[in-house]
Homo-oligomer: A and B are copies of this chain.
C-alpha cells in the first residue's frame, strides 16, 4: 500500500509537507504541492481512512440501526427505500454506512457500545422498538442521533406526516361519498397513534360518527391479521363501505378475504392502503394509497445528522415532518 511516507521519500520532502499538500494547506508552495499531488496520483496513493480516523477522532462513518424485528426491517420496502437514500446522501457528504447491532462476535455489546467501538460519528435510528432501553441509552449518549418516525425530547427526528396523510386519505374517501369508513390499524406504536388520532379528528371534522366496531386492531405488514380484521368487518350488520388498511402489503390479506366472500373491489367494497410501495401500483385495480416519501426522509435524516456532526455549535434539535402524496388508484368507488 502506498503511504504518505512513500510519497515523501520520492519527493524528498517530509511527511508533513505531503500531508499538507494533499489537504490543500496554504503554507506549501504551489509548485511543490502540485508536484506532490502528481506523484501521489502516479503512485496510486489512497488515504488510509483508519489512520485518519484515529488521529482526527472522526471516522466519517455513520451507523444505521435497522432492527429486522419480525423480519420487517430491511425486507420492508419502506425501510429499504429509506436506507438507500440515507446511504446516498451520506456518501455525498463523504460518509460511509455501517450497520449497528448488538453482540458483535464474542463481544457482548449494546447498541451504544457497538457504535462507540466503531467510532461512528453518528447514528440513524429507524424501525426499532423505541422503548428498548438499549435504544434509549444510545439516544441519550454523546453520539449524535437522528430518529425516524419517532421523537425523543430535544433530539432531532424526521417524521413521515402520518397526520396529514391519514387526513388526506379520509377526506378523499369522504369526497367520494363514503360515510361508513372502517380503519384497520397497526400495532400500538406512535405511528399508529398519529394515524388513529388523525382518523378520528378528521372524521369528527367531517361530521362522521364512526362506530367502535369500525376500528379494528391489525398488524403492520401482516396480511393474515388484515384478513381476519376484514372478516370481522364483513360480518357486521352494518358493513362499512370503505376499509383503510395498515399498509399496502397487509392489504393483500384483506383482498383475499374480500375475494373469498365474493365482495368485489371496488364494486362492493372500497379500500385504501398506506405506504405506496411498488406493489400497490402494479396491482389491478390500482390501489388507492398514501405514498410516504421515504427518499426525502432518508435524505433529510442523513443531512440532519451530518449537520450535527460537522456543526455541533450551531445545531439545535429539529423535528422535520415530510409530507407524502395521495396516490389515487381505482379502489375507492364514488358512491
The answer to whether B99 touches A49 (Cβ under 8 A) is: no
Residues of B within 8 A of A71 (CB): 84
Answer whether residue A137 sits at the interface, using C-beta atoms and an 8 A cutoff.
no
How long is the Cα–Cα vector from A54 to B47 in the complex, in angstroms? 13
Residues of B within 8 A of A262 (CB): none
The answer to whether B98 touches A98 (Cβ under 8 A) is: yes
Answer whether residue A284 sits at the interface, using C-beta atoms and an 8 A cutoff.
yes
- Tell me the A147-187 residues at the B interface (CB within 8 Å): none
Residues of B within 8 A of A91 (CB): 101, 103-105
- Tell me the A1-21 residues at the B interface (CB within 8 Å): 1
Residues of B within 8 A of A235 (CB): none
How long is the Cα–Cα vector from A116 to B81 in the complex, in angstroms? 27
Contacts A116-B1, A116-B46, A223-B282 known; A107 to B94 CB distance under 8 Å?
A: yes
How long is the Cα–Cα vector from A255 to B285 in the complex, in angstroms? 12
Contacts A74-B80, A75-B278, A84-B74 known; A92 to B105 CB distance under 8 Å?
A: yes
Answer whether residue A272 sits at the interface, using C-beta atoms and an 8 A cutoff.
no
- Enumerate chain A interface residues (CB-CB to B < 8 A): 1, 46-51, 53-54, 59-61, 68, 71, 73-75, 77, 80-81, 83-84, 87, 91-99, 101, 103-107, 109, 113, 116-119, 223-224, 249, 252-253, 255-256, 259-260, 278-279, 282-284
Would you give the shortest CB distance from A267 to chain B, in whole angstroms? 14
Q: B48, B83, B95: which contacts A119 (Cβ < 8 A)?
A: B48
Would you give the shortest CB distance from A153 to chain B, in whole angstroms? 25
Residues of B within 8 A of A53 (CB): 50
Would you give the shortest CB distance from A180 to chain B, in whole angstroms? 26
Residue of B nearest to A103 (CB): B91
Would you give the shortest CB distance from A312 to chain B, in whole angstroms? 17
Would you give the shortest CB distance from A155 to chain B, in whole angstroms? 22
Would you give the shortest CB distance from A278 to chain B, in whole angstroms? 7
Residues of B within 8 A of A54 (CB): 48, 50-51, 54
Q: B94, B97, B253: which contacts A282 (Cβ < 8 A)?
A: B253
The answer to whether B50 touches A119 (Cβ under 8 A) is: yes
Residues of B within 8 A of A107 (CB): 94
